[in-house]
Amino acid sequence: MTSSEPRGPAAPTGGSAAPTGGSAAATGGSAAAATDGPPAPRRHADGAPAPFAHVLPASMRAVVVDEFGALPSLRDAPVPACLADGVVVRVEATGVCRSDWHGWQGHDDGITLPHVPGHELAGTVAAVGADVSTWTVGDRVTVPFVCACGTCEACRAGEHQVCERQTQPGFTHDGSFAEYVALDHADVNLVRLPQGLSPVTAAALGCRFATAYRAVTVHGRPRPGDWVAVHGCGGVGLSAVMVAVAAGARVVALDTSAAARAAAAACGADVVLDPAEGTTTGGVVDPAAVAARVVATTGGGAHVSLDALGSPATAVASVLGLRRRGRHVQVGLLLATAAHPPLPMDRVVAWELEIIGSHGMAAHEYPAMLARIASGELRPDRLVGRTIGLPDAPAALAAMSRPAAAAGMTVIVP
């Protein structure tokens, strides 16, 4: 999802790109230890032998980008091959995320055309590689957007979300705007879906909701009663509002869309602000003026502030809206011409502010989040605005070039 990530060599497929990774099966936190000889036969919970694969079709329907910025097309494409350490998943739901829009616009230099977008997904395992020990055909799964190798220095430290040899469906290889998607290092990266969690809700967990969850709970770390500012109330911003409210924080949410502000209030935000109101000169929003409104609203500045949109203006406003020793968490992507915004480092030094990047969440960290979802404490299902079919996906991607007409996430059901 970021243009600076290293890319692995292309893996053989039935005609389209597929995930790559190390040649050995991963043996990270959720993987079984490697053994000599063939893997033990897989078995379902009832003890019956489990197949390595259903008979996969030769082709599938997929949304294909042939030219950056041009409307993608829906057409037949080869079903991706299953790697020895990976799986092929029958996609049951996949989110339309602003990161997909960045990829479609050509902001990620790792994407090779033609290309299938999509990185937020949930579905059922349809084929399993010979080196995979944990998963069987028929398992219901999701996956973080960062698929880790499990063996590099970062992975050995448990920091899979910054894996040195990561792959990302929809960026380094064909993604989930399709009926099937291939995923590598399955024993490291797949997450089993609990009973009762629908694919539509689960599709948001691999990127927006999980990213916001870790950004708030690990990096932001608000205490009950702290003020948290959330700049941008799209899918990741609304997720951050929900998680911060669950932590007992007071939340001020900012978005130019009235629908997004209403959605933030419905998620529990104490205050919602239009950042363009009273802060615009000549059609340009002044980040310092936006920050001043946050400072006034919070009685001295936010303890934690997140840029959930990803623009130089929101990043600067987020930093300037902090109180002394506050924490800014950069969640929204800053790519292309916005990649190097001038941040107020004089304020950062003088007030001992923290600036932290947040890049997804590793599969081994999902159980705590899933437990809070299962208990009803967190309700990502409420963040889904609409579902669409694959034929509507190209238009939904293109619509992200304009201000959002409605709040909430759009999820494709192939």
Block residue for tokens 């998680």: 243
Q: Where in the chain is the domain with CATH 3.90.180.10?
A: 59-203+379-412
Strands (E), 10-158: 59-64, 73-78, 87-96, 121-128, 140-142
Cβ atoms 318, 220 nearer than 8 A? no
50 in helix, strand or coil?
Answer: coil
Q: State pTM to two decimals.
A: 0.84
Q: Which two tokens stand for residue 43?
A: 């078995």
What are the pLDDT tens digits along the chain (414 aa)?
A: 544 443 343 333 433 333 333 333 333 334 333 334 444 445 444 444 455 556 799 999 999 999 999 999 999 999 999 999 999 999 999 999 988 999 999 998 889 999 999 999 999 999 999 999 999 999 999 999 999 999 999 999 999 999 999 999 999 999 999 999 999 999 999 999 999 999 999 998 878 999 999 999 999 999 999 999 999 999 999 999 999 999 999 999 999 999 999 999 999 999 999 999 988 888 888 999 999 999 999 999 999 999 999 999 999 999 999 999 999 999 998 888 888 999 999 999 999 999 999 999 999 999 999 999 999 999 999 999 899 999 999 999 999 998 877 888 999 999
Strands (E), 97-219: 121-128, 140-142, 180-183, 191-192
Output the average pLDDT for the chain: 88
Distance, CA of 371 to CA of 39 (rounded, Å): 31
**CA gap 208, 216 in Å, rounded:** 12
Note the CATH architecture for domain 59-203+379-412.
Alpha-Beta Complex (3.90)
* pLDDT, tens only, 293-317: 999 999 999 999 999 999 999 999 9
Rounded distance, CA 323 to CA 306, Å? 13
**H-helix or E-strand containing 236?**
helix 235-246
Amino acid identity, position 356: I
pLDDT in tens, 366-376: 999 999 999 99
Question: Which residues of the chain are in CATH 3.40.50.720 domains?
Answer: 212-357
For the domain made up of 212-357, the CATH class stated in words is alpha beta
- pLDDT tens per residue, range 110-168: 899 999 999 999 999 999 999 999 999 999 999 999 999 999 999 999 999 999 999 99
